[in-house]
Amino acid sequence: MRSAVSLRGVSFGYQPGRYVLRDVDFEVETGGYTAVIGPNGGGKSTLLKIMLGLLEPWTGTVEVLGLPPARARHRIGYVPQASGAVLDFPVSALDVVMMGLPGGRSTKRARSAALSTMERLGIAGLSGMHAGSLSGGQRQRAFIARALVGSPEILLLDEPAASVDPEGQESFYELMAELNRTVTIVMVTHDVGAVSNHVKTIACLSTVMVSHGESLETEAVARAYGCSVDLVSHGTPHRVLGKHEGRGGND
Amino acid sequence: MIDALTRYEFLQNAVAAVLLGAAACGIVGSLLFVNRLSSLAGGISHTVFGGLGFSLLARVHPLIGAASASLIASLALGWMSARKRERADAAVAAVWSVGMSLGLVFVSLAPGYKGDLMGYLFGSVLAITREDLALTALVSLASAVFLAFQYRRILAVSFDPEFSRARGISSGLLFGAFLCLTGLTVVVLMRSVGLVMVIALLSIPPATARMLTHRLPGMVVLSSVISALSGLAGIAVSWWLDLPAGASIVLCAGALFALVTASVRLLRSTAPVG
């Protein structure tokens, strides 16, 4: 099957000589649903930015939908970490969703496209609300709507579960599974425990690609984190990783 | 005052200036405010003083000196803070003081009559000419067109810079165009309230409006209305009490801000909880 995302031998750093990513190969097939986990500072967000064409790798090649990332931009939906937005900014939820469309004018067509995407995500009723007064879960849906409104083929999410309470997370993963029927999804998260039950493949990144497949090589992951996977998936009662049997969970 | 308004052309021009300038004031002021760049207007306006000093020395029309200096200051500020918006703060402080110092040096070097420098520093709304009015209308129109055609891009870049970069929105071009508009707005407002107080008209009305609405279009309309009201009230006060017009306008804007702050606080504290 054609690759939606393909990185070969990618190395990158912010300072000369200090690698954040080293010789990373990473492949996501069309229709895939991949979670990238890894310790803080392991290069997860950097990997996303390289896929978005925001950062140029030192070495290696990057292709998204068979194109250089900067040329595939309009076919990628990006959900950045919520903390990047200015929350007291005077915009409504509808304004936020419209930001995902090309063009500059607030036309009727843009508004109705935004509204129908919000309807699909069950937040049409919030369209007039101030974006800053939405709850964590509502805001996250608005940001996902902003990424989806331009009908992307790939959805890239940076720590999407960070601002959502545990009940919200369950419905978030249901939403992702539903979206995955039409869109390839790559999600960066530190939340190993919750994510592993939902995705199709899981990658562990700690400067180098420690493992990537349908299951986690738990010992390799444990080395990457510098502690046992039991400790990594600390979220009791959400511990869903098997001890050392590879795929699946014992939830 | 109505009687005086029908009789004196200079009074009509003053009223027209504050009404025509209100749109530029509301649009540029609101965008500065939501991007936390209000001090930028102060930096540009003090550099305009440098331009005025230069026009005295080189014997060119003051408006040409002012407009060129404001555009140079805008682009310099844009260039200095382009890579990191957080740097804008230090860049503004540098441009502010260097521009003002250049002005003082040029003025001291210029021979003979120094012209109406006080008028530029502290405003002379009652001395506004037809050309000033035309320029004011033009800048307001340009601001309105800029906002209408770039509304969603402006929102995206201001609200979430990283997302807009990922969408491929060229924030540099947008920021540059906005800075030039800010520069021209400063020149226009210089005639009515003076360079020293331009920053007040670009920050007080949007701050007042922000308390009353949580959407940018509402904020733009409200702050335009507030700056028009402050302008009219300021002219009236200065006419009746024989006070400087520029200062009266700024004080009226300040009074309106205080009034709205107090009312909003009072309403919130008496509103039923839950």
Interval B49-90: pLDDT, tens: 999 999 989 988 888 999 999 999 988 888 887 666 667 778
> Does the predicted interface ipTM exceed a cut of 0.85?
no
- Asked if pLDDT for residue A212 goes beyond 50, the answer is yes
Q: Which residues contact A85 (CB under 8 A, 6 or more apart)?
A: A131, A143, B159, B160, B163
- Asked if pLDDT for residue A232 goes beyond 80, the answer is no
Q: Which fold has domain B2-268?
A: ABC transporter involved in vitamin B12 uptake, BtuC (1.10.3470)
Q: Kindly report, residue by residue over B103-130, the tens digit of the pLDDT.
A: 999 999 988 777 678 888 888 888 888 9
Residues above pLDDT 90, as percent of chain A: 41
Residue A149 distance to chain B (closest CA, Å): 12
Q: Which residues contact A48 (CB under 8 A, 6 or more apart)?
A: A36, A78, A156, A158, A186, A188
* Contact list, A186 vs chain B (CB under 8 Å): none
- Determine, for residues A54 and B162 on separate chains, whether the beta-carbon distance falls below 8 Å: yes
Burial (Cβ within 10 Å: 0-12, 13-18, ≥19) of residue A196 = buried
- Determine, for residues A103 and B152 on separate chains, whether the beta-carbon distance falls below 8 Å: yes
* Contact list, B219 vs chain A (CB under 8 Å): 90
The CATH number given to whatever domain includes residue A197 is 3.40.50.300
In chain B, which residues have pLDDT < 50?
A: 274
Residue A147 lies in a domain: yes
Do residues B191 and B123 lie in contact, with contact meaning Cβ atoms separated by under 8 Å? Answer: yes
State how many domains chain A has.
Answer: 1
Residue A90 has its nearest CB partner, among B150, B164, B213, at: B213
* Contact list, A131 vs chain B (CB under 8 Å): 159
Residue B163 has its nearest CB partner, among A78, A101, A104, at: A78
The three-point CA angle A108-A112-A117 to 5° equals 150
Q: Which residues of B116-151 are buried (b: 16+ CB within 10 A; e: fewer)?
A: ebebbbbbbbbebeeebbebbbebbebbbebbeebb
Residue A116 lies in a domain: yes
Kindly identify which residue of chain A lies nearest to residue B163, measuring between CA atoms: A80
Confidence of residue A251 (pLDDT cuts 50, 70, 90): very low
- Asked if pLDDT for residue A42 goes beyond 90, the answer is no
**pTM to 2 decimals?**
0.84
Which domain covers residue A53, as residue numbers? 3-232
Q: Kindly report, residue by residue over A24-38, the tens digit of the pLDDT.
A: 999 999 999 998 988
Residue A29 lies in a domain: yes
Q: Which two tokens stand for residue A39?
A: 């310790």
- Determine, for residues B214 and A132 on separate chains, whether the beta-carbon distance falls below 8 Å: yes
Tokens 């002005």 — which residue? B103
Residue A91 lies in a domain: yes
Q: Kindly report, residue by residue over A160-210, the tens digit of the pLDDT.
A: 877 777 777 788 888 888 999 999 999 998 777 667 677 888 888 888 887
Predicted confidence at residue B79, as pLDDT, reads 83
- Asked if pLDDT for residue A85 goes beyond 80, the answer is no
Residue A238 lies in a domain: no
Tokens 């390289």 — which residue? A50
So where are chain B's domains? 2-268
Q: Which two tokens stand for residue B256?
A: 């309106």
Q: Which residues of A135-174 are buried (b: 16+ CB within 10 A; e: fewer)?
A: eebbbbbbbbbbbbbbebbbbbbbbbbebbeeebbeebbe
Kindly identify which residue of chain A lies nearest to residue B211, measuring between CA atoms: A90
Kindly identify which residue of chain A lies nearest to residue B207, measuring between CA atoms: A90
Confidence of residue A246 (pLDDT cuts 50, 70, 90): very low
Q: Which residues of B19-41 are buried (b: 16+ CB within 10 A; e: fewer)?
A: bbbbbbbbbbbbbbbbbebbbbb
Q: Kindly report, residue by residue over A123-160, the tens digit of the pLDDT.
A: 999 999 998 888 888 888 899 999 999 999 999 999 88
